[in-house]
Amino acid sequence: MKISVFGTGEVGSAFAAKLKSLGHDVVFGSRHAGGEKDEIPVLDHREAAIHGEWVVNALHGEDALQVLPELPLSGKLLLDIGNFRSAVDSPLIKTLGESLQSALPDTRVVKTLNSVSAQLMGETHLLGAIHTVFIAGNDADDRSAVVELLTSFGWQDIVDLGDLTACRPMEQLGAMWVRLHEQFGHVYFNLAVVRKP
């Protein structure tokens, strides 16, 4: 599949590398276009938007809302794995997932992986235990398609929370992730939902 990843930082780079390893046709979308990063072409934002059947938002929310609504994304699936910077130490007034859907009404937004470190997104086995990833989106078929992608990444426990109103509890986990990171001093942790058998 042709997939464009917006954001060449730690999160976007890890996500793109995993996609490439699985055989997807991956490009980066960046304001610093040209050349390659980790053998993945770096295109400008518009070129990347045109390239991708799916588009991945790995930008901070504040940046994503400036960049993505200006691009030709109608009909595409937008996989949002980002968070607002401000959500770490301020009340979450609006969610990124719902804000992107509002700004891009003809784009199919699905939220996931926003509370997992870049190092674990595509290497779930590194914890040596089953841990949980959450997913939300307004269309059940789109959520199912993203579940297939997450399964190919190695995720075994994927909890479907339904429509994008679930972005609020999902994005509020960002502050918890930051505090846990401060306590543990590393990024190799995640939450697990334990259910009664």
Q: What is the pLDDT of residues 159-178, one digit of tens each?
A: 999 999 999 999 999 999 99
Q: Could you read off the pLDDT of 182-196 as tens digits, one per residue?
A: 999 999 999 999 999
Residue 124: predicted pLDDT: 97
Rounded average pLDDT over 137-151:
98
The predicted model gives 19-37 an average pLDDT of 96
Residue 90 has pLDDT above 90, yes or no: no
Class of the CATH domain delimited by 2-184: alpha beta
Note the pLDDT of residue 36: 93
The pLDDT of residue 68 is 98
Task: Check pLDDT > 90 for residue 7.
Answer: yes
CB contact at 8 A, 92 and 42: no
The pLDDT score that the predictor gives to residue 91 is 86
The residue count of the chain comes to 197
Whole-angstrom distance, CA of residue 56 vs CA of residue 12? 8
Strand pairing report for 54-57 and 108-112:
unpaired
So what's the pLDDT on residue 155?
A: 98
Nearest to 166 by CA among 191, 133, 192: 133
Fill in the amino acid letter for 55: V
Nearest-Å Rg of the Cα atoms of the chain is: 16
Distance CA 33, CA 102 (A): 28
Indicate the pTM of the whole model.
Answer: 0.96
What's the whole-number average pLDDT of the chain?
A: 97
Which segment of 32-36, 76-80, 105-109, 126-130 scores lowest on mean pLDDT? 32-36
Beta bridge partners of 168: none
Average pLDDT over residues 55-62: 97
If pLDDT is split at 50, 70 and 90, which confidence band does 156 have? very high
How far apart are the C-alpha atoms of 39 and 151, rounded to whole Å?
Answer: 24
CA distance 29 to 120: 22
**What mean pLDDT comes out for the span 139-151?**
98
Say if CB 105 and CB 78 are below 8 A apart.
no
DSSP calls for 5-60: EE--SHHHHHHHHHHHHTT-EEEEE-SS-SSEETTEEEE-HHHHHHH-SEEEE-S-
pLDDT mean over 126-146:
98
